[in-house]
Chains A and B, each alone.
Chain A
Amino acid sequence: MSGEVYHEIIISGYGGQGVILNGSILGKAATIYDKINATLVQSYGPEARGGACSAHVIISEETISYPYVHNPHILISMSQEAYENNIDSLRDGGLLLTDTDLVKRRKNDERHVSYSIPATRMAEKLGNKMMANIVILGYLASLSDAVNAESLRNAVEKSVPKGTEEKNLKAFEKGYKRGEKQKSGTG
């Protein structure tokens, strides 16, 4: 059933971190720019900010019938709670991305390919910690082939508030470069 391109992704954190927006940007990159299928469903508590929330994204060449993700290929966690809640579901060999300052990872996790980035701190340095989600998207673009990096850049530009495009693209590049360095072992 699954075609060549098939990725199940969970982005998790707390409300207000741009978790759902990241899901939307990923889906937009896949559907509008990469021209393949994607679904986004979200779960959150009754509160708009501060509560645990997660975005489930599936990217696939084939039609997606069931939109929920139980065993993701990729897990992005931007809070300790989000990490604890989801890490056991990440499949063997799955890619884990966390915010270095917000998530303390379990030691000796050999099941997964783990990377961490101080996304919130980097975003703060760029002038707004609200862009941590975009930093981590850039990081993802470098470390995964789930969507084309150029498509993600386009989707970021189209999705962030008007007037903030340049800043957000800068945040994206910071994350992307950090990923490139870590991949090559120089970071």
Chain B
Amino acid sequence: MEETEQFIMGDTACAEGAIACGCKFFAGYPITPATEVAERMAKRLPQVGGTYIQMEDEMASMAAILGASWGGLKSMTSTSGPGFSLMMENIGLGIIMEVPCVVVNVQRAGPSTGLPTLCAQGDMMQARWGSHGHYEIIALSASSPQELFDITIKAFNLSEKYRLPVLVLTDEVVGHMTEKVVIPPYDKIDVYPRRISTLPPEEYLPYVSDEDMVAPMVGVGEGYRIHSTGLTHDKRGYPVITAPVQKEMMDRLIYKIRNNVDDIVKYEEIEMADAEIVVIAYGISARPALKALEMARDRGIKCGMMKLITIWPFPEKRIKELAPQVRGFVVPEINYGQICLEVERCSAGKTEIVLVGHAGGAIFHPNEILEVISRL
């Protein structure tokens, strides 16, 4: 297969990314503005020997992809706000059972049914904390169809490497925007394969981890005994309802991510060499922010930008480093301040932080961001 160039929608690019890195199972329930992801998967999966199931709702969709992943297939679902809320319980199940899979949230404006056809970035904290209990999660963000293609692959790789559901957070505008997407030959794409145990069945235990705190999985139907549950469990996967076993399990769920933050966290820095004011932006808002940066530079303002690719875990190391060096952070996001709170936490009062908030339903005009940059 040769490299191809296609003029396609973000949602379509997301599905193509999944197919390109070997996703073979999709279960979902249609919802604007994520329907086109499902639509493309319904068309593409049968062509590559995969399975598409339209489920009765989003709870079942999430459950189905966990099952399919245990069954050995790379699995994905996609949804938007209301469906994302319904998936929360089973995302938690995926976290505790340590199931590699990818959940795409093409954000629209809420709360509740909100603005079904219009964009927002209001689910950033829900992505972090939406399921109950304390856990670590990985969430990535994209601001173009090409990035959506690329980070969907990255999401699958991280989910296999660290054995957890990985969230792809985008929004209506990126999902429905059409741009050129370069699709490399599939054999040139870096794919992180499932970590499979080399132990014989009699020695294998499902939750004995490697040095990086991630436990290898096994092939289904190959004679291994598997037990997995949403209850706190020991190395055998059996429920043990005690504080010490809870600690042992939780330490692994938390530190398999925290200890590998440098491997997981990715961001782009633009015009940062002499920057005094730094815009921290992600998703669709990174696009008008980039335009605002160029306009600010034209006016002689030393402005730079940190574009977040990994949202969770939050790139706190870099922001802590930057805070005492810059005059201020400007954080444009289509909500009333979510990622801005993280920036404030990491800055610990060492620089000024200005939120450029938005209720949703539209994206920023570059001038709205430029105005704040100019005032700082």
Contact = CB atoms under 8 A, between A and B. Distances in A.
Given A1-B294, A28-B7, A46-B117, A37 B180 contact: yes
Contact of B179 (A1, A31, A66): A31
Interface string A21-59: 001100110011000011111101010000000000000
Given A27-B7, A32-B5, A39-B179, A67 B366 contact: no
**Residue of A23, A24, A39, A42 with highest tally of chain B CB at under 10 A:** A39
Given A1-B291, A65-B291, A66-B288, 10 more contacts: A28-B7, A32-B6, A38-B179, A39-B179, A40-B7, A41-B176, A65-B366, A66-B363, A66-B366, A67-B177
Contacts of A42: 176
A40 B291 contact: no
B343 interface: no
A8 B304 CA distance: 27
B365 interface: yes
12 contacts: A1-B294, A23-B178, A31-B5, A32-B5, A37-B180, A38-B179, A40-B7, A41-B177, A65-B287, A65-B291, A67-B173, A68-B363
A67 B362 CA distance: 12
B148 interface: no
Contacts of B294: 1, 65
A138 B266 CA distance: 45
Contacts of A27: 7, 178-179
Given A32-B5, A38-B7, A41-B173, A65 B179 contact: no
A67 B287 contact: yes
A24 B178 contact: yes
Contact of A40 (B177, B288, B290, B366): B177
A65 B180 contact: no
Contacts of B177: 39-41, 67
Contacts of A39: 177-179
Contacts of B178: 23-24, 27, 39-41
**Residue of B179, B291, B294, B363 with highest tally of chain A CB at under 10 A:** B179
A31 B233 CA distance: 53
Contacts of B287: 65-67
B365 A31 contact: no
Given A27-B7, A31-B5, A67-B173, A38 B180 contact: yes
A40 B291 CA distance: 18
Contacts of B363: 66, 68
Contacts of B180: 31-32, 37-38
Contacts of A1: 291, 294
Contacts of B291: 1, 65-66
Contacts of A24: 7, 178
A23 B7 CA distance: 11
Interface string B3-24: 0011100000000000000000
A143 B180 CA distance: 25
A177 B179 CA distance: 30
Interface string B23-52: 000000000000000000000000000000
Nearest to B180: A31
Contacts of A31: 5, 7, 179-180
Contacts of A66: 287-288, 291, 363, 365-366
